[in-house]
């Protein structure tokens, strides 16, 4: 009888030990799951912060590019608005190796200013009277008129010199049509000057077109 009771007690202890072992294993698994969950949460937070930093960096780069573009536009507009053209007389005889040719028209009876000298054209029978800065001369088709040497200086922003050149203009009369006097105009300069700059001297009324 005592042997049976002893065996029952032993089995009971074995079951309790097995149950205790099972509880410990379950607790270990729960701790592992909790650690894995926490690790995953931390990794997710790190990845989210990395994405936010990347977005912030990208946004900052875009803002910098936009700011630089805005500054460039503002400077360009300011440079254009502050263009200043100064034309003065100089002694003739300068070496002028560069030439740009234009086709131009002068409306009859209208005074046009190129640089600092006014030009006007009036028809007279088969001739025209070309008045340049008060000096009148009659021209027939094919005749030339020379505008003597001048110095042209174009500045911007008050201090930056964009062009400084001596120039001379040759006008060849090509005929009159619809109250417009047609000329070939050759502009001789001491320096190579971009058309966009030299065009600042040419008023839009003459419709200058490179040829």
* 99/174 Cα distance (integer angstroms): 19
* 200/143 Cα distance (integer angstroms): 27
CB of 160 closer than 8 Å to CB of 197: no
pLDDT digits (tens, 9 = 90+) for 172-203: 999 988 888 999 999 999 998 888 888 888 88
CB of 177 closer than 8 Å to CB of 74: no
pLDDT digits (tens, 9 = 90+) for 102-148: 999 999 889 998 877 899 998 877 789 999 988 999 999 999 999 98
Q: Where do the domains of the chain lie?
A: 1-81, 84-210
What is the percentage of the chain residues whose pLDDT exceeds 90? 27
Quote the distance between the C-alpha of residue 172 and its chain's center: 38
């Amino acid at each position: 009888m005592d042997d049976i009771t002893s065996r029952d007690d032993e089995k009971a202890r074995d079951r309790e030990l097995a149950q205790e072992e099972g509880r410990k294993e379950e607790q270990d698994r729960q701790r592992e799951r909790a650690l894995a969950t926490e690790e995953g949460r931390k990794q997710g937070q790190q990845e989210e912060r990395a994405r936010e930093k990347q977005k912030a960096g990208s946004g900052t780069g875009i803002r910098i590019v936009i700011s630089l573009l805005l500054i460039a536009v503002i400077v360009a507009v300011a440079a254009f608005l502050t263009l200043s053209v100064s034309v003065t007389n100089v002694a003739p005889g300068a070496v002028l190796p560069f030439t740009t040719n234009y086709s131009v028209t002068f409306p009859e009876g209208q005074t046009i200013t190129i640089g600092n000298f006014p030009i006007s054209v009036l028809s007279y029978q088969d001739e025209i009277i070309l008045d340049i800065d008060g000096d009148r001369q009659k021209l027939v088709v094919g005749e030339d008129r020379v505008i003597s040497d001048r110095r042209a200086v174009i500045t911007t922003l008050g201090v930056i010199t964009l062009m400084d050149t001596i120039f001379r203009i040759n006008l060849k009369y090509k005929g009159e049509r619809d109250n417009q006097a047609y000329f070939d105009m050759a502009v001789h300069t001491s320096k190579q000057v971009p058309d966009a700059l030299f065009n600042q001297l040419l008023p839009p009324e003459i419709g200058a077109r490179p040829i």
